[in-house]
Amino acid sequence: MKTEYATIVHQALKESGINFVAYLPDDQIHDAQKLVVEDPSFTTVAVTNEGEGVAACAGAWLGGGKPALIIADSGLLVATWPLASLTVSYGIPILVLIAHRGEVGDRANWRFITYKFTTEPLLQTLQIPYVTARKPEETKEAITGAQLSAALWQHPVAVLLSGEILRD
Amino acid sequence: MTRYDCLKILAPLLKDEDLVVTALGWVAGEWHSLRPKESNLYQINMGMCTPLSLGLSLVLPRRRVVALESDGSVLLYLGSLATLANKKPKNLFVVVFDNQCYLATGGLPTATAGVTDLAAMAKAAGIVHAFETKTLAEFEEQARAALGREGPTYIVAKVEAAGKRMSTDMDGKESKYRFVRYIEKSEGIKIIGTHAMRRD
């Protein structure tokens, strides 16, 4: 992710009121994760697996924080159990920001076709609404809108970052 | 010793405003019968009680947070020991009731019935104040010490495979609303908003 694009993501999170971030580093999103970690206005938790991150975000919301989980497609697969049994069942709003690879035309290798088949169907199955941002100019609106809906619905909402916004 | 015996010791040591998060299983009903406060959050599913309590303790650093965990739950997300150790929340106290089995789902053994030592694992993860207790006197001593110190404390209480089939008589959503409304009231903040703010 280009520094200027990482800045867009970071600023959009701030504008959304997000003040707690759980994350597990991943190639395409680590620049944005780094900006968040270095910003003292966020409480951040580096988790060892993404399911743990969902639970930490849920606890943060219950205590009055505004949490986001910043992960990759693989992390969404790992996080399904807590997303289903905690955030969806209880109705706990967390913003799930996913660096999404494997779209047609993406410069990703054979491994990433998995995520073409898993990420969106999984979100649909889990009943987690989502929006996709591919262009830098779409990204802020996608993030702020997803956070607004999450808060109003008391439900997790995801943003898929894909295409140009992820490129180096 | 039983978990219920330990809970009977713990309940009067806590202040009303101390936040308590319970794992799934009969521990929720047992705790509710002894301390039915709004500051309790019940029945957090397998693996999530400790990381959820960590998130809660980080956003409310002036409140005491107590997690009532189980061995089966901790074993599902062992990585959370490392996360807890590195974040070092001053206000979090985790009690793991280690009955060495999956009691509520039929009683088959967990790894701690074999060679696994959760207190040693917690210590090796970097939680300095990690202890195993085998008697009620040890449990009380460690619980009092935990509530009197800054820094995370992790107590593994070795208990009998016995529980009281008690219920909180509320589902997870009711427990959530009850807890969140209590946090709003006690912290003077708004968590649940039902109307969109102007965004222009």
- In angstroms, the CA B162 to CA A23 distance is 38
- Which domain covers residue A7, as residue numbers? 3-166
**Tens digit of each residue's pLDDT (9 = 90 or more) over A67-117:** 999 999 999 999 999 999 999 999 999 999 999 999 998 888 899 999 999
Secondary structure class of A9 (helix, strand, coil): helix
Across the interface, do A63 and B194 touch by the CB < 8 Å criterion? no
Taking an 8 Å cut-off on Cβ atoms, the answer to whether A20 and B59 are in contact is yes
Phi-psi region of B171 (alpha: psi -120 to 50; beta: other; left: phi over 0): beta
Which pLDDT does position B196 carry in this prediction? 66
Q: What is the CATH number of the domain that holds A142?
A: 3.40.50.970
CB-based contact A47 B86, cutoff 8 Å:
no
In chain A, DSSP finds a helix count (H) and a strand count (E) of 8, 6
Tokens standing for residue B148: 């009197």
| Residue range A63-75, pLDDT digits in tens | 999 999 999 999 9
Phi/psi at A18 (5° precision): -60, 130
Quote the CA–CA distance of A13 and B188 in Å, as a whole number: 24
Residue B2 CA to residue B17 CA, distance in Å, equals 26
Is the ipTM higher than 0.95? The answer is yes
Q: B104: pLDDT confidence band, cut at 50, 70 and 90?
A: confident
pLDDT at residue B200, rounded to an integer: 45
Region B47-62: mean pLDDT is 98
Tell me the percentage of chain B whose pLDDT exceeds 70: 98
Q: Is the pTM of this model over 0.95?
A: yes
- What is the distance in angstroms between the Cα of B129 and the nearest Cα belonging to chain A? 21
- Distance to chain B for A36, nearest Cα, Å: 16
pLDDT band for position B65 (50/70/90)?
A: very high
Nearest residue to B52 via CA among B105, B102, B92: B92
Q: Is B36 exposed, middle or buried (0-12, 13-18, 19+ CB in 10 A)?
A: exposed
Structural domains in chain B?
3-187 (3.40.50.970)
Domain tally, chain A? 1
Residue A27 confidence class, pLDDT cut points 50, 70, 90: confident
From A60, A85, A148, residue closest to B55, measured CB to CB: A60
pLDDT value at residue A138: 97
Q: Partners of B130 in the beta sheet?
A: B154
Say if residue B119's pLDDT is above 60: yes
